[in-house]
């Protein structure tokens, strides 16, 4: 590691700080990953270009000092400028972007795919990625004006799942849906007013896949043109007095419903 510690004015720190913004990430082809657990996942995935660590963090996590990637010691203030959290952990990795072209994400015979359409909140997008990973989805596609999955809050919300399954993004949402159809996937839009009830026994034949679930933003749901383009609009029934379900909960219910239906079909 370098000595003395780098500061907020050290050129490498200044360059890395630009990755806190989407324009900087897209220009450099890199993003920041913060925190011990997320950095472990990034190292295992093999996309870490450089590590910035404080002396205190190096003491807590000596395993990061002996990695094969470049490790740069920085002071606490420098680490704070590389963080967008309230309590920085003092460990930040500069990583290569992890998204791939949509066609590559859909290679093979995918059976379960999550499509994030128009999701603006990075925490929601990251949580959907985490849920999709937990449900064994084959890919997550980010369509239209959806937040960058490399956003710091999205990466943290995914708890490392951004490194576990293929991610792809395309501003042309219709092209994303076309690619899903070409891959043999039936399009299901999660819609609170959809005509197909998730709990209807007749829905099993549809849910069992192969399917691509389309999830929209918390406030407005799936964009109307994309919902109309789907083969089915599926609602999760509200049995109590709740006004609605939040996005992550709805995504978990829908994705696991497909997993369960597929298992029933195969048993």
Q: What CATH code is carried by the domain that includes residue 91?
A: 3.30.1330.30
Structural domain including 77 reads 11-96
Look at residue 6 and tell me if it is in a domain. no
Last residue of a domain, one of 39, 63, 96: 96
Token pair in block for residue 129: 């990625």
Look at residue 3 and tell me if it is in a domain. no
**Do 91 and 128 fall within a single domain?**
no
pLDDT value of position 2? 46
**Do 113 and 241 fall within a single domain?**
yes
**Do 206 and 258 fall within a single domain?**
yes
**Do 146 and 76 fall within a single domain?**
no
pLDDT value of position 173? 96
Last residue of a domain, one of 96, 116, 146: 96
**Do 191 and 79 fall within a single domain?**
no
**Do 85 and 110 fall within a single domain?**
no
pLDDT tens, per residue, the chain with 267 residues: 446 788 999 999 999 999 999 999 999 999 999 999 999 999 999 999 999 999 999 999 999 888 889 999 999 999 999 998 888 999 999 999 999 999 999 999 999 999 999 999 999 999 999 999 999 999 999 999 999 999 999 999 999 999 999 999 999 999 999 999 999 999 999 998 889 999 998 899 999 989 999 999 877 889 999 999 999 999 999 889 888 889 999 999 999 999 999 988 877
**Do 260 and 162 fall within a single domain?**
yes
Look at residue 246 and tell me if it is in a domain. yes
Structural domains of the chain, count: 2
**Do 132 and 241 fall within a single domain?**
yes
pLDDT value of position 209? 82
Q: What is the CATH number of the domain that holds 234?
A: 3.40.1280.10
Last residue of a domain, one of 81, 96, 111: 96
Look at residue 194 and tell me if it is in a domain. yes
* Spatial distance between the Cα atoms of 10 and 110, rounded to a whole number of angstroms: 45
Token pair in block for residue 93: 């990795």
pLDDT value of position 149? 96
Look at residue 1 and tell me if it is in a domain. no
**Do 221 and 259 fall within a single domain?**
yes
Look at residue 2 and tell me if it is in a domain. no
**Do 231 and 108 fall within a single domain?**
yes
**Do 150 and 38 fall within a single domain?**
no
Look at residue 243 and tell me if it is in a domain. yes
**Do 91 and 139 fall within a single domain?**
no
């Amino acid at each position: 590691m370098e000595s003395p510690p780098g500061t907020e004015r050290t050129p490498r720190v200044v360059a890395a700080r630009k990755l806190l913004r989407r324009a900087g990430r897209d220009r450099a082809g890199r993003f920041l990953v913060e925190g011990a657990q997320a950095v472990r996942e990034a190292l295992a995935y093999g996309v870490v270009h450089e590590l910035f660590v404080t002396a205190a963090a190096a003491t807590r996590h000596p395993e990061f000092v002996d990695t094969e990637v470049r490790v740069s010691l920085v002071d606490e203030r420098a680490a704070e400028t590389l963080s967008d959290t309230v309590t920085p952990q003092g460990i930040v990795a500069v990583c290569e972007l992890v998204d791939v072209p949509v066609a590559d994400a859909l290679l093979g015979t995918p059976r379960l795919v999550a499509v994030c359409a128009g999701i603006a909140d990075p925490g929601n997008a990251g949580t959907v990625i985490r849920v999709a990973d937990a449900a064994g989805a084959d890919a997550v596609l980010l369509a239209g004006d959806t937040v960058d999955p490399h956003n710091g809050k999205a990466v943290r919300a995914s708890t490392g799942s951004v490194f576990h399954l293929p991610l792809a993004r395309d501003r042309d949402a219709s092209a994303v849906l076309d690619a899903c159809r070409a891959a043999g996937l039936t399009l299901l839009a999660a819609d609170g007013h959809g005509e197909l009830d998730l709990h209807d026994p007749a829905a099993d034949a549809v849910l069992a896949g192969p399917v691509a679930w389309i999830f929209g933003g918390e406030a407005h749901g799936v964009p109307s043109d994309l919902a109309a383009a789907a083969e089915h609009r599926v609602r999760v029934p509200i049995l109590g007095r709740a006004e609605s379900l939040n996005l992550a909960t709805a995504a978990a219910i829908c994705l696991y419903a497909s997993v369960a239906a597929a298992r029933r079909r195969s048993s």
